[in-house]
Amino acid sequence: MLLAPGLRSGPIEAAHMSTPPSRSDAATAAPSASRARTALTVLFGFIFASLLLCTSYASIRQPVWQWSGLTRQPDNWWSIATLLDAYYGFVTFYVWVLYKETRLAPRVGWFVGIMLLGNMAMSAYVLRQLARLQPGATLTDLLASRNA
């Protein structure tokens, strides 16, 4: 399936790009993968629970269809819920950046950029990753390969 010029995804394209890990590689990666899975479960469990609480509280204070922005009380509750939701989206995207970037400086720089500029920085990051792809690269290469 062709997703964008030169960017394909599918079992045939993805299969020739990587080799299965050896048994010893899998054994050494297991503790690290377990810790990463636990950290991601805690992070996204917190995001889910806090957004559920925030939007529930905002709904109790005022129905969403009565929200008129930042102009008066209690409208600020939906503004807070929306802002919280946006920043959690930035954090979610940053988890991918954290995985892809292996060096500290790019990790810190992209975190600051994403938190300050939001979707503009996120779009710039994706465009940069697309520009760095080799001809014939797959969607798996874009999403899962780590930067040196």
Q: Mean pLDDT for the chain?
A: 82
* DSSP conformation letters of 6-21: TEE-SHHHHHTT--PP
pTM over 0.75: no
Average pLDDT over residues 16-25: 51
Give the distance from CA 62 to its chain's centroid: 30
| pLDDT tens digit sequence for 62-111 | 887 877 766 666 567 888 888 999 999 999 999 999 999 999 999 999 99
